[in-house]
Each structure stands twice: as structure tokens, then as C-alpha cells.
Structure 1
Amino acid sequence: MAARTLSVLPSTTAASQSACRKPIQSSQSFPCYLRPAILVNTLLGNKLSLRPSNLRPLLRRQRPAVATVLFSLPTAKPDRAPAEKIPKWSARAIKSFAMAELEARKLKYPNTGTEALLMGILVEGTSLAAIFLRANGITLLKVREETIKLLGKSDMYFFSPEHPPLTEPAQKALDWAVDEKLKSGDNGEITTTHLLLGIWSEEESAGHKIMATLGFDNEKAKELAKSINDDVILSYR
């Protein structure tokens, strides 16, 4: 396999042959996503400085995206309050959102809807909202089945974007969660409980209809709403 790989490279000069014979153990101390570039450059005889100062720009590129994801989710109302007063989303809520996008892609849907947000909460699985849903018989498998019944299957040749954009009801569910937290005046984070109740607030959405079909109702919503602060405490464990 190694010989076949080297055969497609340009003819090696004395310098490159010497480089090929040199061990490349130094690359092992760097992140795995940098090692292929180090290996290729070494095989081609290119000089590649492994000093941390030269690698810093590559590592720095990862930080802005991480910082953005850690603190907020997409919003249609950026001016609802000063930025410093907008509450942060909990880690479980952020993970649920990421899992929602993944579920939308698995089903090959072009958008992330309230049904995907609901599945994302269940995939994350450790939040109070997810535990409450399962205790009431609402599981990931049932939600997925009801989603396909309601929305159908996507074209098998269609490929969802890496981050399927939110549908209007899904965006409203996120904004409802933020606004509800702001109204409460409580400190702490916006949790998956806020997110789930935001889905329920969109009565015409697929997520609401699926929850209703599986037995969720206004009484259960009120019961869950009493435990919003407990979910905040749970998110720090």
C-alpha cells in the first residue's frame, strides 16, 4: 500500500530521498489533523518548520467557531436586549441543537424543523426535558417514526447542507425560549426545558403535532414548566 502511494509522487531527488529516510516522529507531538500535512511535506522534501509559532495561525482558526457555538444559538431577534443581558444557553441545550441538525441530515431534510429539535433533545438524552419525555412514553424511535409519517421521506439522492437552516417555527421556538427566560428575570442559563416548551408553543409546527400525537398536552407542559429551575441546576452536574 505504501509503495503504491509513493509511486504517484514526482520523481524523488537526492534531497527528497534523504527526507523520506528521515524519521518523522516529531509530528506525533502535534494534533492529529496536522500530521498528514507534515507527512506529505516531509515525503516531498519540502522544508516545513514545526515551531509552535508557525502553527499558531492554524490552531487559532478553530477558536472563533467554538466561542460562537458555546454561548448562543441562532436568533431572529438580536436586538431584544443588550448583549450582556442575553442569557447563555446551557451546554445540554447547545448539544441538543447540534444533534437536531444531525437528525435533519440523517433524514435528508433541507431544514432543521421543530421535529428535529425534538429529536435532538432526545438524542442528547441527559436533560430534565429528555427524561420527562421518556417518562411519558415519548422516545426517539417514536418521534422519528411520527416525523416520517407526517413529513414523509426525502429524496434518497438529496444531500442536506452541513447546517440545515431553521424553519420559521423552529426559529420561533428558539426565540420563545430566550424571551421566556428574559421575562422570568432569573439568573442562569436557557435550558432544554425552555427549548422543549418553545417547541410546544408553536401549535402548527410538526414538533407540536408529534408531541400531541404521542400524548403530550398542556397539563404535561405546565408540570414540566414547574421544573425549569431544576434543569438549570442539573446542567451544572
Structure 2
Amino acid sequence: MASHALSVLHVLPSASQSCNNSSRRSLSIPLILKSDSLVSCFIGNKVSDRSSNLRYHTLKQRRSTVATVLFSLPTTKPERAASGKAPKWSARAIKSFAMAELEARKLKYPNTGTEALVMGILVEGTSLAAKALRKSGVTLFKVREETVKLLGKSDMYFFSPEHPPLTEPAQRALDWAVEEKLKSGEEDGEITTAHLLLGIWSEKESAGHKIMAELGFDDDKAKGLAKSMNKDIVLNSK
């Protein structure tokens, strides 16, 4: 085939039947090809280096999903956040929240609940709160298992939204963490995963609290975590 200018080939759903699984995952992304080095299972020519561009754009899309929660978390008092007087969330807490949304989507739940927040903390894994959970015997696998037992499985044909909205208990847990930080009177420091976990624990009727209690977390361990908050702030500031 003679070489000429670049063309854009949009992969249509009807053609996906002849492609392998990796091709199907890229259906929504335009494939930029040279006519003399087409990258396609439809034509059978050699794979071009331009396939690396496709991987780059796919990765860029994934990164943009997480970027929406890089600086703050949902609040019922947006005016406080807008004024700049609200304390900031730590990077670990924000990552834990992003992982919580992902866990909710994996289970195909319509909302991000307190149980998902616990899973998010465990997925992030490096915070004082995550270490306290593991020390108490609360692991990611066990929380997932208990979540399905308590809340059940979602319809296999249901697809969660990109950012499953918070349940009311989960939002109250986040607000509790903010308020607790404000009560401390500390001008410096951040709202950490320890604040977040204790916020979940404060919601006695929530799924997250029930699952943590079932797996061995209790009030004494919550008090121990509360005393260690300052250490968590130091770790997050490094």
C-alpha cells in the first residue's frame, strides 16, 4: 500500500468481533496510523511504534480520573472550603478516597459507602490508620468479603458511575474528620487517614463500623489511634 498522509481510523463496534481483548479495550480511542504501517488486526500488517502513543493516551485518561480528587474531598460546607479556612486533606487521605471510589466500582455499587472508605484506606496501605487496621486483623480481603455478606452483590449488568456519590454515613464521616481537626485548634497540619477512619468509626450504624467491629476493631483501638494522630501528621509532612 502506497505511503501517504496520516489518517484517523475509528474502530467500530461491529469490527470488534474479530479483534483480541486488548483491541476491545481501546474501542473509544482514535487510532492514528500511517497507511504504510497500519496497526490493526483487521489488516494484519506489522505493529507500528505509534501503538505506544495509544498506550500513552490511555494512561493519560486514567490519570485525569484521579486528578479530580487531588486537592479536596466532598463536603457539606463548600463555603468553608471556598474561604480557604478549612484544613487541607493529606495526600494519603485523598488517595484513600480515590481508591474507595474504585473499590465501590469494582463491587458495582451505586455509591461510595463507609465500607468502601475502609477498603480505600487499606488499598493505600501506608498510613497509620491502615497499619492500625491490619494490626487489628482488618485486611482488604476480609473487608471485601464482609461487605458482600452485609450488603449483597450488585446486579451483574449494573455499571457504577465513574465517581459513585457518597452515602449519607460516608459524607458524615468525612465531615466528622474535618470538624475534629478544627476542634484540635492546630493551625498547621492536615486532615489525615486517622481522622477519616475515626470518622467512619463514629458512624455506629454504618456498614464500615459494623464490618470493622466484626473483624476485631474496637473502642480501645480507636482511642489508641486517636492518640497517634500527631505522629500521622508528621509522617504526612515528610
Q: Give the Cα–Cα distance (whole angstroms) in 2 for the partners of residues 38 and 146 of structure 1.
A: 43
Q: Give the Cα–Cα distance (whole angstroms) in 2 for the partners of residues 140 and 100 of structure 1.
A: 11
Q: Deviations over 1:110-156 (max 9, x none)?
A: 00000000000000000000011101111111111111110011111
Match status 1:145 vs 2:145: yes
Match status 1:202 vs 2:195: no
The residue that corresponds to 1:39 in the other structure is 32
The residue that corresponds to 1:123 in the other structure is 123
Match status 1:19 vs 2:12: no
The amino acid that maps onto 1:39 is: I
Residue 75 of structure 1, CA deviation: 0.6
The amino acid that maps onto 2:212 is: M
Q: Deviations over 1:5-38 (max 9, x none)?
A: xxxxxxx9xxxx4325xxxxxxxxxxxxxxx869
Q: How does 1:82-231 map to 2 (within 5 A)?
A: 83-186=83-186, 187-231=188-232
Q: Give the Cα–Cα distance (whole angstroms) in 1 for the partners of residues 81 and 109 of structure 2.
A: 33
Q: Give the Cα–Cα distance (whole angstroms) in 2 for the partners of residues 223 and 130 of structure 1.
A: 13
Equivalent residue of 2:75, what SS? coil
In percent, how many aligned pairs have the same letter? 74
The residue that corresponds to 2:12 in the other structure is none
The amino acid that maps onto 1:160 is: S
Larger-Rg structure: 1
Q: Give the Cα–Cα distance (whole angstroms) in 1 for the partners of residues 30 and 159 of structure 2.
A: 29
Q: Give the Cα–Cα distance (whole angstroms) in 2 for the partners of residues 176 and 190 of structure 1.
A: 11
**Contact 2:69/2:98 (8 A) holds in 1:** no
Q: Give the Cα–Cα distance (whole angstroms) in 2 for the partners of residues 116 and 142 of structure 1.
A: 12
The residue that corresponds to 2:17 in the other structure is none
Q: Give the Cα–Cα distance (whole angstroms) in 2 for the partners of residues 225 and 98 of structure 1.
A: 23
Match status 1:79 vs 2:79: yes
Q: Deviations over 1:180-209 (max 9, x none)?
A: 111111111110000000000111100011
Gap runs ≥5 in structure 1: 4-11, 21-35, 44-58
TM score, norm. by length of structure 2:
0.73
Equivalent residue of 2:79, what SS? coil
The amino acid that maps onto 1:144 is: R
How many correspondences in the alignment?
191
Q: Deviations over 1:163-184 (max 9, x none)?
A: 1000000000001101111111
Q: Give the Cα–Cα distance (whole angstroms) in 1 for the partners of residues 31 and 150 of structure 2.
A: 50
Q: Which has the higher helix share?
A: 1
TM score, norm. by length of structure 1:
0.73
Equivalent residue of 1:160, what SS? coil
The residue that corresponds to 1:23 in the other structure is none
Residue 81 of structure 1, CA deviation: 6.8
Q: Is the alpha carbon distance of 1:112 and 1:81 closer, same or farther for their aligned partners in structure 2, counting shifts above 3 Å?
A: closer
The amino acid that maps onto 2:119 is: M
The residue that corresponds to 2:234 in the other structure is 233
